[in-house]
Amino acid sequence: MSSNQMLKGTLQTIILKLLEDNSQMYGYEITQKVKEVTSGDMVITEGALYPALHKLEGDGLLETFTEVVDNRVRKYYRLTEQGGKEVADKLSEAQLFIHQLELLLNLKPL
């Protein structure tokens, strides 16, 4: 299983955390930030990113607005108040999962 397959289960958490840290981002910017932070080891495709963004927006966790940048319309995403609260819950869930995974993977025979 590649890291990209494992990424799917945490994509919403990653998006929420990036938006918490950066206040607002557009889709391509999100993909590039993940690529940059992971030195290219994790790549988020548009096919994975935009459905996740639309779901988060539909769930009331994100809101969008557009701006014209260099004569192009750019759609930005930012957290709603509810989304800001959800970040802490998602991060807590992810940390617990990582801890449990570490316990399982570091088991040594008795």
58-91: pLDDT as tens digits: 999 999 999 998 999 999 999 999 999 999 999 9
13-54 per-position pLDDT tens digit: 999 999 999 999 999 999 999 999 999 988 999 999 999 999
Residue type, 89: D
CATH of the domain at 43: 1.10.10.10
* Strand 72-79 relative to strand 25-26, pairing: antiparallel
| Domain contains 31 | yes
Q: What is the pLDDT of residue 6?
A: 64
| Domain contains 49 | yes
Count of the separate structural domains present in the chain = 1
Phi/psi of residue 40, nearest 5 degrees: 85, 0
Q: What is the pTM of this model?
A: 0.84
Q: What is the extent of the structural domain holding 22?
A: 2-105
| Domain contains 110 | no
| Domain contains 88 | yes
Cα–Cα distance for residue pair 23/47, rounded to 1 Å: 23
Rounded to 10°, the helix 27-37/46-58 angle is 120
